[in-house]
Amino acid sequence: MVTAQSTPTSAESRAQQMTGGQALVASLKNEGVDTLFALPGVQLDGFFHALWEEREHFRIVHPRHEQATTYMADGYARVTGREGVAVVVPGPGLLNASAGLSAAYSCNSPVLAISGQIRSDLIDKGVGALHEIPNQIGMIRSVTKHAARATEPEAIPATVAEAFRQLRTGRPRPVEVEFPVDTLFASGQIEIGAPVPARRLTSGDPDLIEQAAKLLGNATNPMIYAGGGIQRAGAGTELLRLAELLQAPVIISMNGKGAISDRHYLAQGIYGERDLLPQADVILVAGSRFSTGEGPVRTLASGQVAIQIDIDPEEIGRNVPVAVGIAADLQAGLAELAERTERHNRSRPSRKDELAAFKQAAAEQLGSIEPQAGLAMAIRAELPDNGIVVGEYTQIAYWSFLGMPIYEPNTFIGPGYQGALGYGFATALGAKVGKPDVPVVSINGDGGFGYSMNELSTMVQHEIPVVTIVFNDNAFGNVKRIQAEQYGGRLLASELVNPDYLTLAKAFGITGRRAHDAAELRTAIRESIKLDEPTLIEVPVTAMPNPWKVLKLR
Ligand SMILES: Cc1ncc(C[n+]2csc(CCOP(=O)(O)OP(=O)(O)O)c2C)c(N)n1
Ligand SMILES: [Mg+2]
């Protein structure tokens, strides 16, 4: 037996003299990070100096604005399931990156933001140091689940490890860590510990699962509402098994698109909710806020009960009163729920004919909304099943949230409830970095694209061949339509003057294409995918109908 006296402690023997910057680099490598979306500056010099020694290990993508560091990290995380890591300077750098963190927060995406800080002895003193803002860490807590600072180099490994523990346990959400400029240069005897283990699956309280299984198994007309939690947990197979047992239609939210292939008759879009929800007696809400987006808490019809399963106990019951709430990982929890439901389940005839017909009717109604349907389906037609679509906050993407069939998990990336203009193109670049072998299509409006147009440089410099489409109506079209239709035509600040996009593409050294209709768009996408090079496709369009109005949803 080895005694404490006879050998140095293992920590001492493994500790090495290194700088804070080296400790940060080693800690990230230790957690399996090999890609950084980073924009340097003086407070990060100690980190970048150390990073140079490991430049063979890390792919460092430097965009042209910090908003893109976190958007790219989010896109990377959402398609790979791995943590996406952004690196920014403090103050304005982190503020610029915060919109991306808000998107990741709303979509439960494991993004790590690493920020520099001013000198440790000056923090919150208001001396006017470069990039100083008061209470930076408090500010960023609003869009992260955890934020922490290390002011000693020896504390860096534990700070990074805690960040990854936060990213790999409970609800995946962004995390921030920050390091003062002097801490990154200071040296110490530093030990890098074992990496944080991968996510462990917890299936939830067996009694609650049993109660839920009884309710579902005995239900006459069960329905499932599935959200992005299914994607994060990789629980599509378990969800489908339960849905098939119950012959329950699954309404899939925007964040959940692809959780079950849209080729399956049980997979229904959010458009189906209006008709299917009132028919249901037991509603299982799985990995979704089940929010109307407007509050207040939903009221259920008499005779209806809701069951909610979510990794975050705080989400349970927030937007709907629940008869049973199960805090569990979706994959393990749904597997257990399916297992037990089978024991209580009624015999259920297949609802294939009925629900396939319902789905077909919905598709026809959605398909009548032109030009959105034709243009969106042109994209779908040219993409393989595993092709990735990133929808900005724009007309063709709104239609796609409702109507574009998605066949594989994590292949449709939306803006979540932040709906932030400018997220789309940068997020698509990050997705392509994460999945270089899969075609990635970025759907943009001219307004939203203007926020990230500079990242055309990033696309060229880092050879990230995204098929970038700009639907150009020379307007913040959605705003303009609302002003025209609801406010008596009082158009203000909603019309845009744009560059010539073909000239723009040429200026950045990118292949530019122009497509005037769905058929031309198909050709342009096909050629772009074949060449697998950075591409900008402009599609000139005119004002489009409001899809929600056409569908009488709003
Ligand atoms: C960060 C941010 N700022 C402002 C808005 C408000 N907004 C919603 S849609 C929209 C217009 C979008 O224009 P464009 O990208 O050209 O798409 P279009 O509606 O024309 O299809 C605006 C300004 C927003 N969603 N996000
Ligand atoms: Mg527009």
Task: Identify whether the C-beta of residue 517 lies closer than 8 Å to the C-beta of residue 373.
Answer: no
User: What are 213's two structure tokens?
Assistant: 């299984």
Kindly compute the dihedral angle of the four CA atoms of residues 180, 185, 188, 193, in this order, to the nearest 10 degrees: 70
- In this prediction, residues 168-190 reach a mean pLDDT of 98
Distance 476 CA to ligand 1 centre (A): 5
Contacts of 360 (CB under 8 A, 6+ apart): none
Cα radius of gyration rounded to whole Å, the chain:
25
pLDDT score, position 5 = 43
**Tokens 């500079």 label which residue?**
454
With cut-offs at 50, 70 and 90, classify the pLDDT of residue 10.
low
Taking alpha carbons only, the member of 522, 504, 524, 506 closest to residue 514 is 524
Question: Quick check: CB of 372 below 6 Å from ligand 1?
Answer: no
Helices (H), 176-227: 181-185, 206-218
- In this prediction, residues 302-319 reach a mean pLDDT of 96
Distance CA 86, CA 68 (A): 9
Distance CA 256, CA 279 (A): 22
Tell me which ligand sits closest to the C-alpha of residue 472.
2
Q: Of all helices (H) and strands (E), which one includes residue 22?
A: helix 20-30
Question: Quick check: CB of 541 below 6 Å from ligand 1?
Answer: no
Distance CA 94, CA 80 (A): 24
pLDDT score, position 136 = 98
* Top mutation candidate among 443, 453, 478 for ligand 1, by most atoms within 8 Å of CB: 478
Please state the φ and ψ torsions of residue 416, each to the nearest 5 degrees: 65, -165
pLDDT digits (tens, 9 = 90+) for 505-522: 999 999 999 999 999 999
With cut-offs at 50, 70 and 90, classify the pLDDT of residue 209.
very high
Distance CA 122, CA 131 (A): 12
Query: Which amino acid residue places its CA nearest to atom 10 of ligand 1?
Result: 476
Question: Quick check: CB of 452 below 6 Å from ligand 1?
Answer: no
3-class secondary structure per residue, 320-379: CCCCEEEECCHHHHHHHHHHHHHHHCCCCCCCHHHHHHHHHHHHHHHHCCCCHHHHHHHH
pTM of the model: 0.96
CA 159 from chain centre, in angstroms, equals 24
Local structure of residue 296 (DSSP, 8 states) = S
pLDDT digits (tens, 9 = 90+) for 423-469: 999 999 999 999 999 999 999 999 999 999 999 999 999 999 999 99
Q: Which amino acid is at 258?
A: G
